[in-house]
Amino acid sequence: MIRGWEFVWMNHYRIALALTLALALLSVGFFLYLEGVASFPRVAVTLSSLTFVVLLGLWLQSYFLRYCGGVLFLVLGGVFIWTTYSEFAGSRSALLDSYFFTLGALYLFDGAILLFSKPFAVEFARLRTAQSKHKARLRKVLVIAVGVAILIALSRDVVHLVDLWHSS
């Protein structure tokens, strides 16, 4: 051990937290690098905000957001890797293809840790039982806020579909 340096042992929980944070930063940073702030794509905002909500749910040890995030990450990983090998891959740059492939692989890896890792599940359960009361309250508020956001988005979609149906 180096004098004055303290090593932090990485368990599966810390790896999942760090990987989720890296995914949130990667999705924002790369699009800012390519497009700039003026033409920042809405997809990148949605992607980074969903990843941030999963990160917050992992920090608060929410089972609901853990499993929803794991499924979301597996789906996003598959979509990004599929996008790399789709028929339009030749019309994009190699940098963009490698970015999509890397992002997809990281999403798949993070989703697999969240859903299938036994050491992660044990560490997650241990941290959840030992957490403070304010963190438990924050977890409940976060889950309720996510549920309300889903209901609002769903109601807006239903209203939009009804308007489309009436106009046709």
Q: Quick one: which of 38, 32, 35, 76 has its CA closest to 54?
A: 76
Residue 135: the pLDDT is: 84
How far CA 81 is from CA of 24, 77, 100, in Å, comes to 17, 6, 6
Contacts of 82 (CB under 8 A, 6+ apart): 104
| More confident call, 103 vs 37 | 103
Residue 79 CB partners (closer than 8 Å, separation 6+): 104
Q: What percent of the chain has pLDDT over 70?
A: 88
Nearest to 146 by CA among 67, 38, 57: 57
Give the mean model confidence (pLDDT) for residues 105-111: 96
pLDDT for the residue 107: 96
Q: Output the pLDDT for position 150.
A: 85
- The crossing angle, in degrees rounded to 10, of helices 42-59 and 133-167 is 150
